[in-house]
Chain A
Amino acid sequence: MLLTFVKAFLVGGTICMIGQIVINFTHLTNGKILVIFLIAGAILQGLGLYQPLLEFAGAGASIPISGFGASLVKGAVEASERNGVIGAFLGGLQATALGVSVAIVFGYVVALLFTPKTKKM
């Protein structure tokens, strides 16, 4: 049990640290970093390389945005095995709908309830 948390910490931390190294040396904006890591995760999953990492590190691999990309691909590939071309278009969003819908609904509610904080520098 404890080992699960250690693995999640080490793998998740390492993925974030790689992101920070990329930011330090390229000065890319957050949006670009998110998209790069998402696509990296998607391609690695497509090549069958991200799944072993997910099984090894659990949340350490699924919580970073690369895990979001991986579950899009996993959903699309698995659905296409059952449903062919329709599945390829259907599965990705289906697999990730929970996270996206929760972000939209709670984003909406929070935006309505709170007032923007003035940025303190």
Chain B
Amino acid sequence: MTKKLSNQQNPISPDGKLTAKITKDNYKQYVFEKSPKSAHAKNMFWAFVIGGLICVIGQIFIEIYSLLGFSNADSSGLASATLVVITAILTGFGVFDQIGRFAGAGSTIPITGFANAVVAPALEFKAEGLIYGLGAKMFVVAGPVVVNGVFVSVIIALLTLLIGG
């Protein structure tokens, strides 16, 4: 059974013959059929376990900072910051990529994914210089996150003011 990505026909028949002109859309269908069927259940399981564990580590840091006398809000912020630091170092050693390979969304959805998105391109593009390499590429993925986040949050705050919520 071949799954459909779009309503496009695969331009290449199973015996490797070209049956239609390759376009941008039907090529996607070809790649979709060719790519190994990712084991959905396995992916989901590891995303759940690793994502859950990262949050537990975050909770451990929250408890530690609370015990040290920080307020609840500060403890939460410090715990996130601690995970960012750990991720930065693991990314430097190339370990984070290996975790991410089987954790999938389990390591990208938590703050670790944001940190990795900042550090990895900075490291990779430092050869192009500190300004247009490291400095610019650092926010190639994190930039859209911050831009969209700030935009949406300001709009929501203004709407809340307007409605008087």
Q: Is the CB of A12 within 8 A of B108?
A: no
Q: Contacts A34-B117, A65-B113, A103-B115: A42 and B142 contacting too (C-beta < 8 A)? A: no
Q: Is the CB of A117 within 8 A of B97?
A: yes
Q: Contacts A62-B76, A98-B80, A111-B119: A16 and B157 contacting too (C-beta < 8 A)? A: no
Question: In the complex, A31→B147 CA distance in Å?
Answer: 12
Q: Contacts A9-B52, A13-B52: A20 and B106 contacting too (C-beta < 8 A)? A: yes
For B28-41 the 0/1 string (1 means CB < 8 A from A) is: 00001000001010
Q: Is the CB of B110 within 8 A of A65?
A: yes
Residue of B nearest to A6 (CB): B56
Residue of B nearest to A61 (CB): B55
Residue of A nearest to B88 (CB): A106
- Chain B interface, number of residues (Cβ within 8 angstroms): 74
B-chain residues with CB within 8 Å of residue A12 when the two chains form the complex: 51-52, 54-56, 58, 110
Q: Is the CB of B153 within 8 A of A13?
A: no
Checking A14, A24, A33, A39 against B108 with a beta-carbon cut-off of 8 angstroms, the contacting residue is: A33
> Is B114 engaged at the interface, CB distance under 8 Å to the other chain?
yes
- Chain A interface, number of residues (Cβ within 8 angstroms): 78
> Is B150 engaged at the interface, CB distance under 8 Å to the other chain?
yes
For B110-154 the 0/1 string (1 means CB < 8 A from A) is: 110111011100111011000000100010011011101110111
Question: In the complex, A112→B88 CA distance in Å?
Answer: 12
Question: In the complex, A88→B105 CA distance in Å?
Answer: 31
Min CB distance A52 to B, Å, is 15
Within 8 A of B (CB), among A79-121: 79-80, 84-85, 87-89, 91-93, 96, 98-100, 102-104, 106-114, 116-117, 119
Min CB distance B127 to A, Å, is 8
Q: Is the CB of A42 within 8 A of B153?
A: yes
A-B contact list, 25 entries, CB within 8 Å: A10-B52, A15-B51, A20-B44, A24-B43, A35-B144, A37-B109, A39-B149, A42-B153, A43-B152, A43-B156, A65-B110, A68-B145, A72-B152, A72-B153, A73-B153, A85-B158, A91-B157, A99-B84, A102-B84, A102-B85, A104-B138, A107-B119, A111-B122, A114-B92, A116-B127
